[in-house]
Amino acid sequence: MFGFNMKKFVALLILILISCVTADDYDVPQTQLPANVSIEGTQISLRAVKNNYDEETGDIFTFSGDQYFEAYVISSDRAGNFYNELILQDRPENPEAGIQILIDENALYQRYNFGRKVFVKLNGLSISKSNGLIQLGKQNRGDLDPITPSEIDEYLVRSEIIEEIIPQQIDIGDFSPEFLCTYVQLDNIQFNRNLFTQTNSTFAAETYDQFDGFRQIEECGSDDTALLSTSTYADFRSVNLPASSGTILGVLGRDFYDDFYVVQVNSTEDLSFGNERCDPEFFNCGNNTEEGDTILFEENFAEITNENRLDPLGWTNVNINGGEERFVDATSNGNRTLRISAYNTGENPLEAWLVTPPIDLSQTQNEVLSFDIRASYDNGTILQVYISEDFNGDPETANWQLLEANIPMGPSNQNATIFRNSKIDISCFTAEVYVGFRYQGRDPSRTTTYDIDNIKVTAE
């Protein structure tokens, strides 16, 4: 007979007990914490904490003494869309301030879950600003380092209190520094239609996504747009975007280069979509996209070595805001195009129009308009294509009809290599028409670069 081994029996029993515990039981440690955490020192507001950063000098400020503040967690790294950071706001409802804390630790949601009340002890922490956000961390010369895992308990005290976070209901047009690092709710939102005409785009798994995927969101009933930012490491990066409209809950932030506002969600559960889309009405002559043998108009810009050469050819190329930037000649890989970008222009807004010479449709039928467009350094779709019968040289006085063009999405941080073609039925027009390309940028937040090529009208 084998002798009974108590040590092996106990080990086996422990293994069985552990195997019966599901992964979710480890999500938030059930540490018994007092309802009223007692912390020595002087409590100050989060707004007072942020006021120690001097926007004019940009100098790092290091706290000393026994001050602390209380706040509530509004970020979660459970789905991987936040990394090595906690976003805190000072109240569960109607917050006055929010802040980013740098922490060199993964799975922070297990201890500092959404809605958790925490206390942050400031002695030894430093405050600065990077990527457009006010941050807390540890000073390392002229920069901030994250709090190390061994230091977390020295600076953060977790309360047992978990509050319901009530998002601030705001419009895209309300975005401002006062809402940064706070939890917001955007209603009547949809993703730009061009994200679905190419393919069913994902949150951040397209070939042009690097580090983050930016997807343009639009507010129904207004012309306001913004960008949803998703990490290419997020668990839901490959999930298809919802094609309907609805509500988004998320943290308001800034992009890495501090050029524009972004909305960052904790998971796909923060999107509640299912309503009808609110796309604009496009002028529709029909569905014929088969090009005829007769070419009524064609321009590939091969001979346009300077945009000024367009003027004697009957083109209109104008910045209607009084600025200098307009469509310019460009060459890449030996191919000449017309290019427009608001980047580094200092123009806000920048509205430029490129309008063709008159194209006579009176003697033909089954006319089709085609053109190629390429998007690079994409931070939002800001190009539209129109057609008019009464253009007289001033884009602002003509009656324009919006065409359903295929405006491509491009990489956010590099030049694109692929053009996207549009073919549009314009056969219901029977006189002279003008095709207008309208660019609506603003530096630095809307600066997508577009190349236009191979504009052609065919008929039978």
Nearest CA among 388, 377, 391, 386 for reference residue 443: 377
Structure tokens, 308:
């000024």
Q: CA torsion sign, 153 to 157 to 161 to 164?
A: negative
pTM here?
0.86
The predicted pLDDT at position 412 comes to: 86
Cβ atoms of residues 68 and 43 within 8 Å: yes
Please report where in the chains the tokens 């390429």 appear, as a residue.
Answer: 374
| Segment 317-324 mean pLDDT | 96
* Structure confidence at residue 34 (pLDDT): 52
Q: Do the Cβ atoms of 226 and 171 come closer than 8 Å? A: no
Q: What is the mean pLDDT of residues 223-242?
A: 97
Integer-rounded Cα radius of gyration of the chain:
28
Instruction: Determine what percent of the chain is predicted with pLDDT higher than 90.
Output: 87
Integer Cα distance of 64 and 228 in angstroms: 38
For residues 451 and 335, give the distance between their C-alpha atoms in angstroms, rounded to a whole number.
11
User: How far is the C-alpha of 223 from the C-alpha of 8, rounded, in Å?
Assistant: 70
Mean pLDDT computed over 310-338: 96
pLDDT in tens, 262-286: 999 999 999 999 999 999 999 999 9
Q: Does the pLDDT at position 52 exceed 90?
A: yes
Which residue has 């000072």 as its token pair? 90
Q: Cβ distance 426 to 436 under 8 Å?
A: no
Provide the mean pLDDT of the chain.
92
CA geometry: angle 172, 204, 238, nearest 5 deg: 125
β-pair type (350-355, 316-319): antiparallel
Bridge partners (DSSP) listed for residue 272 = 247
* Residue among 356, 278, 269 at smallest CA distance from 78: 269
Average the pLDDT over 44-72 and give the result.
97
pLDDT at position 305 is 95
What are residue 64's phi and psi, to 5 degrees? -135, 160
Task: Work out the pLDDT band at 14, boundaries 50, 70, 90.
Answer: very low
Structural domains of the chain, with CATH: 40-162 (2.40.50), 168-275 (2.40.50), 294-459 (2.60.120.200)
Residue 27 in this model has a pLDDT that exceeds 90: no
> Among residues 4, 120, 121, 126, which one has the least CA distance to residue 61?
126
Q: Are strands 98-102 and 67-73 parallel, antiparallel or unpaired?
A: unpaired
Is residue 35 scored above 70 in pLDDT?
Answer: no
Q: Average pLDDT for residues 145-166, to the nearest whole number? A: 98
pLDDT in tens, 355-401: 999 999 999 999 999 999 999 999 999 999 999 999 999 999 999 99
> What would the 3-class secondary structure string for the chain be?
CCCCCHHHHHHHHHHHHHHCCCHHHHCCCCCCCCCCCCCCCEECCHHHHHCCCCCCCCCCEECCCCEEEEEEECCCCCCCCCCCEEEEECCCCCCCCEEEEEECCCCHHHCCCCCEEEEEECCCCEEEEECCEEEEEEEECCEEECECHHHHHHHEEEEEEECCCCCEECCHHHCCHHHCCCEEEEEEEEECCHHHHCCCCECCCCCCCECEEEEEEEECCCCCEEEEEEECCCCCCCCECCCCEEEEEEEEEECCCCCCEEEECCCHHHEEEEECCCCCCCCCCCCCCCCCCEEEEEECCCCCCCHHHHHHHCCEEEECCCCCCCCEEEEECCEEEEEECCCCCCCCCEEEEEECCCEECCCCCCCEEEEEEEEECCCCCCEEEEEECCCCCCCCCCCCEECCCCCCCCCCCCCCCCCEEEEEECCCCCCEEEEEEEEEEECCCECCEEEEEEEEEEEC
Closest CA to 123 of 186, 62, 74: 62
